[in-house]
């Protein structure tokens, strides 16, 4: 018998084996569910993780039931199998709402509606239960609706909390919805018949795409949780716990970032230290809770009255820092003095007791270009000490080498910056 060379052509009809794809999808779903469960176990108060955990396990149950289609009753394997898969997406949707702390009052009905509709069709529509292509069309519509709901929820969250991982989640679940939308008319164009675990090429390809999209969607959810946790830890390390304003480290970093901007590094910027007068007396007389209330009121007042571009932070104890770029100083040369007078008029109360508070300030005008912040802080501290020595409740200035004099030159600097659109530096006096 003559030898014939085997064909090297790819048999696309046997490229996607449906049972094998279902097995891989089931294994991936179980693995992901275990990891999400462990993550939720670390923070059981997190409702988003709770919904996502239930959702992924519901998906596992759905896939397990669908794999029993040849041995279990149709209502069990196909009816509840697809219903649990739809409920899985509904629970993922609830998790997205909870992740953004949105109201869930009537959301449970929406989350389980698609799975309920599927079961009603399967139980009350005899033709539906035996017609594979009709089931594919209805199933595609219901899965499109569920995936679209998840995509919209993630998009709405992205608008006010633009975590980078949300874009990946939108791509995954949006693509999932799009593929189901494309699949809806396909059985009408090429009806599905399964033979030996193989179906039409488009059917197997779409199942493979589901597998990839499912993994990408889960990774995106993990990334969303990680990014928010990382941001929370970062904020906790940069925000003062009592006053909710930047701490010393965050304040200095913000000043450095401001100085690195080309339009913010000119001469005339101001660095000031603010200290609450007789703060120890408030603690000794009224207690530390009263002192905390005074600090919170002071931080709220000062931070709320700085112009855009100004930097404020608590440097430690009753001491705060203020940084004003040159243009903000030129636009409002008397801002620090008005802040001092405004604090004196505050009506701060604790346990029905009035807490009169005044502040002393020490400020230094910075030269253009690179500035040694430690030296600038030392100069501002000397000015603050001068305010304390002079009787408190006042603003004192310290000069730094190469810096503008801070008194009558302020209004001249304002006029210069307004007239010089090219931003030329004024030579140091």
pLDDT tens profile 253-268: 999 999 988 777 778 8
Arithmetic mean of pLDDT, 312-328: 95
Q: How many CB atoms lie within 10 A of CB 171?
A: 16
Confidence of residue 382 (pLDDT cuts 50, 70, 90): very high
Confidence of residue 6 (pLDDT cuts 50, 70, 90): very low
> Which region among 18-22, 143-147, 265-269, 408-412 has the lowest average model confidence (pLDDT)?
408-412
Q: To which H or E segment does residue 87 belong?
A: helix 81-99
Given a contact cutoff of 8 angstroms between Cβ atoms, the answer to whether 251 and 311 are in contact is yes
Q: List the domain boundaries for the chain.
A: 14-238, 248-419
Q: In the prediction, which pLDDT does 404 show?
A: 46
End-to-end CA distance of the chain: 106
Arithmetic mean of pLDDT, 119-147: 90
405 or 361: which carries more pLDDT confidence? 361
CA distance 235 to 367: 31
Given a contact cutoff of 8 angstroms between Cβ atoms, the answer to whether 180 and 145 are in contact is no
Q: In the prediction, which pLDDT does 210 show?
A: 72
Task: Check pLDDT > 60 for residue 411.
Answer: no
Confidence of residue 43 (pLDDT cuts 50, 70, 90): confident
> Which region among 57-71, 76-90, 203-217, 271-285 has the lowest average model confidence (pLDDT)?
203-217
CATH of the domain spanning 248-419, picked from 1.10.238.10, 3.30.70.270, 3.30.70.100, 3.40.50.300: 3.30.70.270
CA distance 88 to 33: 11
Q: In the prediction, which pLDDT does 429 show?
A: 33
**Averaged pLDDT score across all residues of the chain:** 84
Q: How far is CA 75 from the centre of its chain?
A: 42
Task: Check pLDDT > 60 for residue 415.
Answer: no
> Which region among 32-46, 209-223, 301-315, 366-380 has the lowest average model confidence (pLDDT)?
209-223
User: Max Cα separation, the chain?
Assistant: 115
Q: In the prediction, which pLDDT does 64 show?
A: 86
Q: Beta strand pairing status for 319-324 and 311-316?
A: antiparallel
Q: In the prediction, which pLDDT does 196 show?
A: 55
385: its two tokens? 């000490």
For 59, half-sphere exposure in the C-beta direction (CA atoms, 13 angstrom radius) is 28
Given a contact cutoff of 8 angstroms between Cβ atoms, the answer to whether 310 and 324 are in contact is yes
pLDDT in tens, 322-346: 999 999 999 999 999 999 999 999 9
Q: In the prediction, which pLDDT does 208 show?
A: 72
Q: In the prediction, which pLDDT does 199 show?
A: 58
CA distance 224 to 295: 35
Confidence of residue 120 (pLDDT cuts 50, 70, 90): very high
Task: Check pLDDT > 90 for residue 177.
Answer: yes
Confidence of residue 16 (pLDDT cuts 50, 70, 90): low
For residue 275, the SS3 value is strand
CA distance 293 to 299: 10
41 or 15: which carries more pLDDT confidence? 41
Q: Beta strand pairing status for 319-324 and 349-350?
A: unpaired
Task: Check pLDDT > 90 for residue 315.
Answer: yes
CATH of the domain spanning 14-238, picked from 2.60.40, 3.30.530, 1.20.1070, 1.10.760: 1.20.1070
Q: In the prediction, which pLDDT does 403 show?
A: 47
Q: In the prediction, which pLDDT does 338 show?
A: 95
Task: Check pLDDT > 70 for residue 179.
Answer: yes
Task: Check pLDDT > 80 for residue 198.
Answer: no
Q: In the prediction, which pLDDT does 408 show?
A: 41
Task: Check pLDDT > 80 for residue 114.
Answer: yes
User: Buried b vs exposed e over 350-377: b needs ≥16 C-beta within 10 Å?
Assistant: beeeebebebbbbbbbbbbeebeeeebb
34: its two tokens? 């275990």
CA distance 330 to 385: 26
Q: In the prediction, which pLDDT does 5 show?
A: 44
Query: Which residues are CB-neighbours of 149 under 8 A, at least 6 positions away?
Result: 89, 90, 93, 110
């Amino acid at each position: 018998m003559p030898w014939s060379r085997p064909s090297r052509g790819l048999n696309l009809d046997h490229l996607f084996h449906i049972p094998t794809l279902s097995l891989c999808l089931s294994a991936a779903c179980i693995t992901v569910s275990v990891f999400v469960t462990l993550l939720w176990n670390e923070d059981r108060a997190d409702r988003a993780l709770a919904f996502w955990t239930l959702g992924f396990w519901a998906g596992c149950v759905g896939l397990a039931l669908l794999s029993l289609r040849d041995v279990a009753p149709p209502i069990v394997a196909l009816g509840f199998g697809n219903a649990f898969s739809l409920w899985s997406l509904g629970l993922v949707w609830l998790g997205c709402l909870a992740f953004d702390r949105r109201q869930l009052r009537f959301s449970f009905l929406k989350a389980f509606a698609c799975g309920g509709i599927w079961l009603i069709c399967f139980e009350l529509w005899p033709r539906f239960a035996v017609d594979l292509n009709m089931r594919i069309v209805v199933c595609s519509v219901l899965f499109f609706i569920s995936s679209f709901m998840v995509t919209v929820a993630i998009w709405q969250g992205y608008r006010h909390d633009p975590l980078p991982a949300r874009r990946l989640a939108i791509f995954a679940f949006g693509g999932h919805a799009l593929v189901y939308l494309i699949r809806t008319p396909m059985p009408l164009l090429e009806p599905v018949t399964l033979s030996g675990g193989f179906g039409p090429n488009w059917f197997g390809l779409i199942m493979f795409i589901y597998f990839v999209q499912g993994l990408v969607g889960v990774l995106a959810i993990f990334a969303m949780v990680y990014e928010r946790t990382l941001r929370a830890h970062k904020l906790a390390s940069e925000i003062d716990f009592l006053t909710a304003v930047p701490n010393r480290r965050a304040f200095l970093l913000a000043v450095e970032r401001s100085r690195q901007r080309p339009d913010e590094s000119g001469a005339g910027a101001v660095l000031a230290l603010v200290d609450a007068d007789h703060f120890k007396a408030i603690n000794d007389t009224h207690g530390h809770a009263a002192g905390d209330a005074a600090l919170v009121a002071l931080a709220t007042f000062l931070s709320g009255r700085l112009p855009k571009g100004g930097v404020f932070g608590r440097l430690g104890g009753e001491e705060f820092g203020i940084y004003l770029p040159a243009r903000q100083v030129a636009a409002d040369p008397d801002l620090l003095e008005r802040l001092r007078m405004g604090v004196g008029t505050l009506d701060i109360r604790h346990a029905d007791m009035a807490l009169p508070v005044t502040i002393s300030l020490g400020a230094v005008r910075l030269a253009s270009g690179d500035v040694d912040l430690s030296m600038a802080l030392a100069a501002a501290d000397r000015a603050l000490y001068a305010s304390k020595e002079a009787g408190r409740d006042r603003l004192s200035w310290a000069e730094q080498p190469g810096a503008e004099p801070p008194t009558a030159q302020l209004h001249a600097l304002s006029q210069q910056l307004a007239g010089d659109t090219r931003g030329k530096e004024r030579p140091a006096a």
